[in-house]
A and B are shown apart, each in its own frame.
Chain A
Amino acid sequence: QVQLKESGPGLVQPSQTLSLTCTVSGFSLTDYSVHWVRQPPGKGLEWMGRIQSGGSTDYNSALKSRLSISRDTSKSQVFLKMNSLQTEDTAIYFCTRGPNWGQGTLVTVSS
């Protein structure tokens, strides 16, 4: 069945770069888009961006200057990189494909 799982560092220092991996199974990245969504603790959902089945990307304009999404289809992995992190980037980060969501990974930005 379709599964997505996020992984990455739980703690990132301010001004540093966040690197997250979404490992998928049950489908091919060349057939479906994968999106990233984040949720600050106790707050709502924010769509960050996606990588399409063909490899092109779309980003939230509010994050575009700091955000990059890429993939390795041979490993069934999608990557998120975001630079210049600040405390307001503290959130649970989810990867999703259609109705399927990962469990999310909490990233805390703190020194």
Chain B
Amino acid sequence: DIVMTQGALPNPVPSGESASITCQSSKSLLYSDGKTYLNWYLQRPGQSPQLLIYWMSTRASGVSDRFSGSGSGTDFTLKISRVEAEDVGVYYCQQFLEFPRTFGSGTKLEIK
């Protein structure tokens, strides 16, 4: 199985500052079609996960442009610009290159 490893944030993050969440995969998620099979989700407290980014860097419909995804085949970053109170929650990366789909353990964002 592909192992997804997420980094922690130096919480709490001051409101209006930027935050970067890292994720590393044990196998390259870059496929021969040129796409990188990585999703980012946000799970707000008490809610279902919300898809933020797919194909490593494509924002899902309705997602603020304050969220951006980048990376290589195995190292990925989700950047949140100008963090706001509504960004609070746990962020998960997920690979969808292979079965079983695997998630990172989550990164919690708190706002000051």
Residues of A within 8 A of B (CB): 35, 44-47, 49, 58-62, 94, 98-99, 101-104
Contacts and interface: CB of A to CB of B under 8 A. Distances in A.
Interface of A is mostly: loop
21 contacts: A44-B92, A44-B104, A44-B105, A44-B106, A45-B92, A45-B94, A45-B103, A47-B94, A47-B101, A47-B102, A47-B103, A58-B99, A58-B100, A94-B48, A94-B49, A99-B51, A99-B54, A99-B61, A101-B48, A101-B49, A101-B50
Contacts of B54: 99
B98 to A, nearest CB: 10
B60 interface: yes
Interface string B75-99: 0000000000000000010100001
A35 B48 contact: no
Given A58-B99, A60-B100, A45 B48 contact: no
